[in-house]
Structure 1
């Protein structure tokens, strides 16, 4: 968007899934039937698929970062990264951008409802010309992820 010489680049993404939800039923079924061989095979399938998806997400993160680096003006990046704040994906895409949750959020801030509700894998990042005013991730039932809402304001120089 260009208005009076001001440029804003908005990047949205949905990176490769972890595949946990697709394999989880097989793990639960093996546990219920006490079939250790099936459980072991399912666990290996999950580990293999997760490793494959980690690599795909890293390549996607490289592409997103390249697009950010090639843009001019202010930046907003948001989406489902399917990875945690400790990951390569998060840190590579974030770079020197501000994480909206860390800027104006509070509490634990999980966004993924599964796996004990401990993972924050959905993000809003923005360039330093913005200031976070409010961040929320409301508990709405529409997805296995909670939405992420961040109110920001452009700093006036």
Structure 2
């Protein structure tokens, strides 16, 4: 997921992926018949990891603030966010990638709806907030920590007439 997140499906190195997994490149291709199959498996796993992170150690019910915190922790790590951005942009021209992303997104919707027991409009707001976080993190906006809402942090930055866009962060 890290390699595909950093370099995309075309630029990722299967040699680096095999080395990172501690296996030979030959064995990698015994497990996955092609680089594309490996990429699609990484996309599927990214959605599974997102769903697992949202579930956390929660019992049956979770609150939106809890889920937001879990999601912020997940995307601020960088690798998953990068892969998500490649997936969503690639889905525009790739029906197979689009289908995997659509199924994954639907599972996340169902997870959030099931954990919160919230009406559809609130689940939609939560997912829209998550997509906004994706964009803010990708653009280098610092997300607040603790109880401060991301909106107030962004509002403060946007209202400062002297503010410059945040400097881009070096790749981890």
Scaled by the length of structure 1, the TM-score of the pair is 0.29
Scaled by the length of structure 2, the TM-score of the pair is 0.27
